[in-house]
Structure 1
Amino acid sequence: MKKLLLSIVLTLAIFNLFAQKNGSITGILADSANHKTTLNYSTISVYKVGDSILSTYKLSDDKGVFKINGLTIGIKYRLVVTAWQYGTYRKEVELTAANSALNLGTLYLSVKANDLSEVVISGERPPVIVRKDTIEFNAESFKTLPSAVVEDLLKKLPGVAIAADGSIQVNGKTVSKILVDGKEFFGGDQQIATKNLPANIIDKVQVVDDKQAKRRDPDLTAAEIPQIINLKLKKAIKKGAFGKLYAGAGLKDLYQAGGLMNFFRDTTQVSILAYGNNINQPGFNPNDVQRIGGFSRSGVNSMMMTSGGYFEFNGINFGGSYNGVQTSSGGGFNFNTLTKKGIKINTQYFFGRSDNLLEKLTNTNQTLGTDRLITNASENTNALILKHNIGGKLDWQIDSLTQLTIEPAIVLSSNNSVSKVSSRNNNANSQLINALDNLNDLNTSNNKYQLRADFSKDFKKAGRAFNIGADISATPNPVINYNRSTSVFYLTPSTSEIDQLRNNTIDNFRSYLYSNYTEPISKKLNFKADVSGNIINNENALSTFYRNPANQLYDIAIPNLSQTVKQAGFKTNTNISLGYKVTKDLYLQPGLVHNYISLNNRFTNTVDINQRYNFIWPTFQLKYKIFRFNYSARFTEPNVSYLQPVADNTNAFYIRNGNPNLLPARMQGLSMNMYKYDPKSLINYNLYGYGNFTKNGIVNAITINNGVQTINPVNKNGIYNFSGGANISKDFKKDKTSLKVGLGFWANFDHSPVIVNNIESDANVFYVGPNGSIRLNLNDKVEINQSYSVNLNRSRYDDSYYTNISYNTHQSTSELIIRYPKKLVFETSYSLTINDQKIAGYNNNIKFWNAALTYLFMKNDRAQLKFSVNDILQSNVRRNIQITGNSVIDTQSNNLGRYGMLTLTYNIQNFGQKVGGRQTFFNF
């Protein structure tokens, strides 16, 4: 709380700094011919009289109104007003103490008679020109350091926001690609251009709508159309190479090393990377993998990231672990080229290896009327994971209206792990019910063969479009599990042992076909048809064997633990809708969806089950200005693993049964979102919400007997959940100081049945999380980042058999970066997590402190020597708490703990990237 109060005081002080303004000038821009048409998004440039250096500037808002603050009293200024298709307007003004807030009233601009007749004064080149579909920034009007890169330049442009992950928005719209002189630079890879091209070679920055995206989805509103940034260079770039090499070492035989190189010439690019470390870190920063590793060009179809630094792109693990201790290594290449016929070709191969040691403690507290089942388990797991990823992509722009994309991929993955688990169950009276010692030797393969194809065709008639595609995949996943366990029961004294081999192969085949067609009926009315279908062919083959005492081989078959399940069939989804543009801002699209599903579930030891269902349901979409609402419905078939009638007894105290009679679930979903960026006040805000209603959803019915839980999946109705949130942020800028303040709120509500020992109750689980953040940047010399959030967790039950649960989690993160003196960068971060769920023997307050000092040397700071210390307070524990059904599950796991690391990095073709903070090359 002290940290939060300190942050509030700091914020108020900064607000006061930004509030200290001298004078202002306001006015309205209008057409001189009719005096009614206001000129929105025109540029008002301010110069001191007799000086050609730009003092400040402002854009008029959507009503032609402008206000320029922070002007000095007693100084004569020259205003230069530039509006698209209008002549330049000039006016000299002076603010006085008696009239510090000067209102110029309405300024009338005349339409240009002839562009060639206008006299251009080079010293008055406007910083911003807004045309009908283009915003053009004059790069020389926005001063940057000599070592600055394009990203530093973009951050100074009005309406441009760059997120921590490097993604860019202009006036609230997402930037889909970056061009250099109108051509794709590394396939439009944004961060290769923004983080490597020097700012001083840029002449103009142009922002235009992505017209191709509008053709693909005519329903996009103006606020949803993505943007394209085109960098007009003073001098063209034809070829080059850049990348980085690093190596580091620490006590306890810790190390890290890696390299990432990118070579390009005209339209061809080759990326090569390799890494290895034993400090739980990914080999590279996600931004580096995308931009230098070529993923932004080849495409990221799937991405997973965690707060601990672990991340995957397209199923490729680049190392790093939030829990446990990991040694990881990997390498590969990425090749991209553009042929003379305009075909983009990408191929890639990556190999990853990780060796993990996980030590985990879990406390599970279940409420059972007047009794409880309290489980304390300790786990020790060693796992070796190997993964190969082979992929390619062909993107052919056949003509300006036709595009074909083909993406093949192969993933070969194996996981060999040995896990030892010891668990104890107690009741509410602290009596020991039973104890289990379990050993699992698990060998699994997760392989995937996939082919994606997409063909889209626009027509000369505006709004008419056709698209067809397929996504075909096969995932053979064999699992061999050697399982040995000993169970001891104390209330009814007995002992049981298991020594078995489970050979389980799950083969899933999925063929997804889709097409859509849009036909404009009139200027306000259009027809749209979407048709998709899934061909399903899945198999779950399970064979279980006891170990033969005579030969010590697992060759004694167990018929009641062996079964093969085959799930075959198809499902279709047909959606027909009519879109009507009621007004300029309001668009309605009602429709009907027909869902059909046909499944045949076959079993080797039981009767086959056939399922056929269909329904017709309304759909609806509404767009009003920045607000969008959607409602739809669909079928979801149960996973084939749920249908397996044979019990999974690999954990003798948690036996999971299947249910061959499970029905497909019918789901109705709704969503809404609203996003707005106000360029006048530099405010971002968004509001979003989602909801799902499920019929025949899958719920686990639990039976507990003598401390042993048996799980049976069943279909239930009355399942629904809602989630949503809101965020608002505002930027303050004065001279070389910037401040960003953000507030947010999110909430989640789940309603579903809980069934334990045949006692059913509705469970209502709430999660509510307000949060706030402050980011202060003082001339890039000092950065202060502070965030705070609190998660309120509640569960409520209808039946008194279950006990209501409440707990709160507070999390604070503080970060300080000092780039002074010139060649030194100091950075430190401190995070604090507080949980008021009191469990004996568990650490509820977790403090995590890191720090690092970097020395920059050689030309353009190409070399960096960094000394970092991880987990200074030696709180090498990770913790997670969650509510599931009638249980609170508290999990703690080991981590690497405190260590020091000295790392040398050499940047090849480094154009002066900023060192330190979340974008630093190394996470620690």
Structure 2
Amino acid sequence: MNNMKKLGILLYSFFFWCAWQEAAAQTGKTVQGMLRDKESRVVAGASVQLIAGADTLGTSSSQAGIFTFQQVRAESFKIRVASLGFEPFEKAFTFPSGQEKMVIPSFELVGIANMLEEVVVDGVLTVQVKGDTLEYTTKDLKLRDNALVEDALKRLQGVEVDKDGAVTAQGEQITRVRINGKDFFGGDVKTATQNLPADIINKIQVIDDYGDMANLTGNKTGDAQKILNIEIDPEKNKGYTTTLRAGYGTDNRYQATASAILMRDKMQFSVLGNLNNINAPLFDFNTQGGGARRRMGGGGGPGGGGNFGGSNGITNTGSIGLNYRQDFSDKVTVYGSYSFGHDDNVALSSSLNKFIYPDSTQDRNTESDINTIGNAHRFEANLEWKPSEKEFIKVTPQLSYRQTKTNSFSFNENLINGALFNTEDNTLNGIAKSPNMGISALYNRRLNDKGRNIFFNMNISSSGTKDDQDRIIQTLVGDPNNSNMDVDSLYRRTLAELDNKSWNGGATVSYLEPVSQYGKIELSYDYNVNTYDNNRRQDAFNADGSTLDDPRYVFDRLYDYSFTTHQFGANYNFNNDKVKYAIGLAVQPTLLDGDASIDGNAIAINRNGFNVVPIARFEYKFSRQKNLQLNYSGRANEPSITQIQPFTDNSNPTNIITGNPDLAAEFQHNLRLRYNSSNFQTGKTFFMILNGSLTDNKIVSNNLRQSDPSLGIIQETSYLNEDGAFNMRGFYHYGRSFKNKVYSLNFMGSLNYNNNPSYTEGNLNKAQNWVLMQGMMFRYLPSENLEINPGVRYSWDHTYNTLNERAVVMQSWAPTLVGSVNITPTIVFGADLSKTFYQGNAYSENPFIINTYVEKRMLKGDRGALRLQAFDLLNEQTNISRTVSDIQISDRRVNRLGRYFMLMFTYKLSKFAGGMNPFQEDQGPEGMRRPRR
């Protein structure tokens, strides 16, 4: 518990420092004003700043359009107003002599024609659509005290949060989260949504992000990523909020979390800490670092490390992280984060694997016990500098390091045509270390005000993995044709050393030239090089310690090669209020060069390629809430070094890989159609997405089979090119809310079809896979005191293999019920029920999961809360999955955290200079009373 004590001391010290800052605050004068548009309508939710020399105060206009500043000590100041859909406003003022309060006459903001589509509910601007951004105002959401960002997201139309905390918007997964436009803990989604309090938020934006170049130049290429941007309420931008949570329960379950966020005008500082054994990681170390996202080619910064825990198994985890942002001036901003995580995970799993061949079947049944212990560090910093109004520079260094220790044991049973062939005990002890570092930078310059622009981007990164493995395999061999035959025992121990290093460098230059009022030509060049230096060495020993001289187990392999691409592109872009389109072409010569050394024998690898990549994009806006997008992209995929290696790799003796140096690069055509037709004024949302891809010269596998007395069935894989690979996916979402969002009904569904060719024993097989999903969710939300959410989701998975003319079907029904009610003003009862009915899976479990809690709010301002919660009351938690390939059907079951009860206490304290304590009712200007959120 020493770590818990240290964490508690750190956060309590921070808390008392904040309290001291509060006590030291000074009083000053008051400034008050009102915002209106040209039609004399109030403007709510606008960002308002009071600037006096180097000091800046921030707030936002209320529902009545009123803004107020207190503790103003300067005699002269400027008021600056910014609001989506209006021209920026700025004006200077001076306090009248002897007055302590100044009431400024109404400002009239000038709207920007055809810029936004807005939704007003009871005088509050709730939704705005601007280009690729959908912006929600959160002040009207019906949220309980102590709600998190995740709770607010669940209230937004078209946004869905699953049980594991993953967020999707308009059918696409959110990949990154930003706070006031800057990455928060490297963009880690769950870290933000599951830790930030909702009461400090002003707006949530769902953005189609095309990368740094598009944000700077407005020229969009490639596919967008869905990101969230959370805007802090300007009234809460000077103060702090702190949350401490501790709980203990049955089976020695515990949780201790703490968060502290300090905001001082242009500075933000956050501390997050977490210790628990209830499978609740604080950070996702798989999140890719930020930096300058490149518009074409490879590259990017180094990865972040491993997410060692996850939701499977039982995990003891401890994490701490720091996030810092400082706006030193209007020209220089620095922000970044450091995260550390320690996970100790134990996962028990069983799997039933069936291999179907033209003349026989093989069953491989496995029971495994895996213990994984990991430490991960991640650091990222960002420097943004605007030397002038036309220039922008961004530099992003990144560092990460992970270390993973693995101790596992598995028991495998192999059967041929139902008869036992052999059994295998497999023990592995390994340790892997992976350091990564890199830096990326960009420079953008507007050459004139008509759109002429030049953009530079570069990145350099290196990564490596050093893995030492000690594996012992003991096999009992039988005769499937003679069940009475005595079995033989075979033993081997292998010591493997893997040392993989890679280096990446790249640069991009893009030049934009306006040729008409709405048209631009872009010329671009992209260079990228990846180098690899991979070594694998293995020795083998008998049970008595003597050397096992068998080339299947003893080898020394070296791969040393590089892959270089040059891409030259040109395209024409047209953009007006209704129509946007781009059309162009890029050419990409490639070079793969290096050699492979097999036990001292070097084999040269050298191949040139040339790809032609079309560029096509079209968008038509019927209105701001109704639009159609069509995008075509092409991408060439070079074969991997494993696929073209001119030799047989038997480092895994049961899965032998033989390369094909004559493989051609595959080329993938991608077509994407997106249609959105929503009416937020009437509470309707509808969008659909259609994706299709066709791959020429698809690199497919040819699976061969042979038997070995000591190993069982050995699969040998080789590769060749084949046409006919394609897939299609359709997704839709329809939502309707009634009576000012008291009732909401949402339907969502998808249909996927995949046609994947492959070969088995030299015979062509086409795996034709259909996946159907249909879901429905109803929400009853009359107030923040009552919420009921029943729903159901159905899925159907059908795979037909032409080679064996066999269909495999799996389906599931998953009804859910989530709700909460205030029994009294300070006592809340909540429950989360889900039942899954599986059909077609080898495992018969149909888990019924019941989670529930009772919470009592206490202390002044409801700052404290005592909660008794029960998790998985029926103790049926498990994870069941199925994967299907051309010759294999695999059903897997993994243990998850089961039933426990926990008593938890939460304490929250907030104080903001621009507004009253959010735990109490506060009064607006002229005594107008605002309800507690």
TM-score, length-normalised on structure 2?
Answer: 0.72
Conserved in 2, the CA contact under 8 Å of 1:654 and 1:710? yes
* C-alpha separation in 1, matches of 2:508 and 2:142: 40
- In the alignment, what sits opposite 1:355? 344
Three-state SS of the structure 2 residue aligned to 1:678 is: coil
Structure 1 position 886, deviation (Å):
2.5
The change in CA–CA distance for 1:42 and 1:661 in structure 2 (over 3 A counts) is farther
- In the alignment, what sits opposite 1:249? 248
The change in CA–CA distance for 1:663 and 1:486 in structure 2 (over 3 A counts) is farther
Q: Deviations over 1:681-712 (max 9, x none)?
A: 22222121223333343323222223513232
Aligned pairs for 1:627-776 (under 5 A) are 627-642=628-643, 653-656=654-657, 662-706=663-707, 707-718=712-723, 720-734=725-739, 738-776=742-780
Three-state SS of the structure 2 residue aligned to 1:392 is: strand
The structure 1 residue matched to 2:467, chosen from 476, 479, 484, is: 479
Conserved in 2, the CA contact under 8 Å of 1:810 and 1:835? yes
- In the alignment, what sits opposite 1:216? 217
* C-alpha separation in 1, matches of 2:701 and 2:213: 47
* C-alpha separation in 1, matches of 2:233 and 2:414: 69
The change in CA–CA distance for 1:177 and 1:683 in structure 2 (over 3 A counts) is farther
Is 1:620 aligned with 2:625? no
Question: What is the RMSD of the two structures over their aligned residues, measured on CA atoms?
Answer: 4.8
- In the alignment, what sits opposite 1:824? 827
Structure 1 position 446, deviation (Å):
2.7
- In the alignment, what sits opposite 2:334? 345
Is 1:504 aligned with 2:498? yes
- In the alignment, what sits opposite 1:921? none
* C-alpha separation in 1, matches of 2:763 and 2:394: 53
The structure 1 residue matched to 2:421, chosen from 433, 438, 459, is: 433
Aligned pairs for 1:246-325 (under 5 A) are 246-283=245-282, 315=304, 321-325=310-314
Structure 1 position 659, deviation (Å):
5.3
- In the alignment, what sits opposite 1:572? 566
Conserved in 2, the CA contact under 8 Å of 1:207 and 1:228? yes
Conserved in 1, the CA contact under 8 Å of 2:356 and 2:887? yes
* C-alpha separation in 2, matches of 1:389 and 1:510: 19
Q: Deviations over 1:861-901 (max 9, x none)?
A: 21111111111111132111121223221100112211111
Three-state SS of the structure 2 residue aligned to 1:909 is: strand
* C-alpha separation in 2, matches of 1:449 and 1:186: 17
Structure 1 position 416, deviation (Å):
0.9
Is 1:805 aligned with 2:804? no
Conserved in 2, the CA contact under 8 Å of 1:279 and 1:327? yes
* C-alpha separation in 1, matches of 2:682 and 2:121: 23
Q: Deviations over 1:745-768 (max 9, x none)?
A: 212222222322222212211212
- In the alignment, what sits opposite 1:402? 391
Amino acid aligned to 2:523: A
- In the alignment, what sits opposite 1:596? 589
Amino acid aligned to 1:619: I
* C-alpha separation in 1, matches of 2:434 and 2:276: 24
Structure 1 position 819, deviation (Å):
2.4
The change in CA–CA distance for 1:522 and 1:484 in structure 2 (over 3 A counts) is same
Three-state SS of the structure 2 residue aligned to 1:461 is: coil
Structure 1 position 522, deviation (Å):
1.1
Is 1:835 aligned with 2:838? yes
Amino acid aligned to 1:884: S
Q: More displaced, 628-637 or 643-652?
A: 643-652
Aligned pairs for 1:107-506 (under 5 A) are 132=113, 133=115, 141=123, 151-153=138-140, 163=159, 195=197, 216-218=217-219, 239-283=238-282, 315=304, 321-340=310-329, 342-369=331-358, 371-428=360-417, 430-491=418-479, 495-506=489-500
* C-alpha separation in 2, matches of 1:569 and 1:214: 30
Conserved in 2, the CA contact under 8 Å of 1:768 and 1:791? yes
Structure 1 position 614, deviation (Å):
0.6
The change in CA–CA distance for 1:694 and 1:44 in structure 2 (over 3 A counts) is same
Amino acid aligned to 1:589: A
Conserved in 1, the CA contact under 8 Å of 2:309 and 2:344? no
Structure 1 position 328, deviation (Å):
0.8
Conserved in 2, the CA contact under 8 Å of 1:772 and 1:788? yes
* C-alpha separation in 1, matches of 2:880 and 2:706: 30
Q: For structure 2, which runs of at least 5 residues remain unmatched after alignment?
A: 1-36, 44-62, 65-84, 87-102, 127-135, 144-151, 295-301, 481-486, 622-626, 912-916, 921-933
- In the alignment, what sits opposite 1:36? none
* C-alpha separation in 1, matches of 2:137 and 2:618: 38
Q: For structure 1, which runs of at least 5 residues remain unmatched after alignment?
A: 1-38, 46-55, 58-83, 86-121, 303-312, 915-924
The change in CA–CA distance for 1:733 and 1:895 in structure 2 (over 3 A counts) is same
Amino acid aligned to 2:579: L
Aligned pairs for 1:780-799 (under 5 A) are 780-799=784-803
Q: More displaced, 348-357 or 667-676?
A: 667-676
* C-alpha separation in 1, matches of 2:543 and 2:229: 70
Q: Deviations over 1:339-370 (max 9, x none)?
A: 13531112322211111111110011222235
* C-alpha separation in 2, matches of 1:402 and 1:477: 39
* C-alpha separation in 1, matches of 2:463 and 2:561: 14
Structure 1 position 815, deviation (Å):
0.6
* C-alpha separation in 2, matches of 1:354 and 1:432: 38
* C-alpha separation in 2, matches of 1:232 and 1:248: 31
The change in CA–CA distance for 1:790 and 1:40 in structure 2 (over 3 A counts) is farther
Q: More displaced, 209-218 or 848-857?
A: 209-218
Q: How many residue pairs are counted as aligned between the two chains?
A: 764
Q: Deviations over 1:842-866 (max 9, x none)?
A: 2241221111111111122211111
The change in CA–CA distance for 1:299 and 1:522 in structure 2 (over 3 A counts) is closer
Aligned residues with identical type, % of pairs: 19
Amino acid aligned to 2:393: L
The change in CA–CA distance for 1:198 and 1:249 in structure 2 (over 3 A counts) is closer
Conserved in 1, the CA contact under 8 Å of 2:250 and 2:901? yes
Structure 1 position 503, deviation (Å):
0.9
Conserved in 2, the CA contact under 8 Å of 1:317 and 1:352? no
Structure 1 position 206, deviation (Å):
13
The change in CA–CA distance for 1:637 and 1:658 in structure 2 (over 3 A counts) is same
Amino acid aligned to 1:389: R
Conserved in 2, the CA contact under 8 Å of 1:853 and 1:866? yes
Is 1:523 aligned with 2:517? yes
The change in CA–CA distance for 1:571 and 1:299 in structure 2 (over 3 A counts) is closer
* C-alpha separation in 1, matches of 2:242 and 2:547: 53
TM-score, length-normalised on structure 1?
Answer: 0.73
Amino acid aligned to 2:610: N
* C-alpha separation in 1, matches of 2:347 and 2:225: 44
Conserved in 2, the CA contact under 8 Å of 1:127 and 1:141? no
The change in CA–CA distance for 1:729 and 1:229 in structure 2 (over 3 A counts) is same
Amino acid aligned to 2:492: I
- In the alignment, what sits opposite 2:30? none
Three-state SS of the structure 1 residue aligned to 2:138 is: helix
The change in CA–CA distance for 1:637 and 1:168 in structure 2 (over 3 A counts) is closer
Conserved in 2, the CA contact under 8 Å of 1:665 and 1:695? yes
Three-state SS of the structure 1 residue aligned to 2:463 is: strand
- In the alignment, what sits opposite 1:93? none
* C-alpha separation in 1, matches of 2:194 and 2:424: 54
Conserved in 2, the CA contact under 8 Å of 1:548 and 1:556? no
Q: Deviations over 1:294-350 (max 9, x none)?
A: x99988999xxxxxxxxxx97377875311111111113222211135311123222
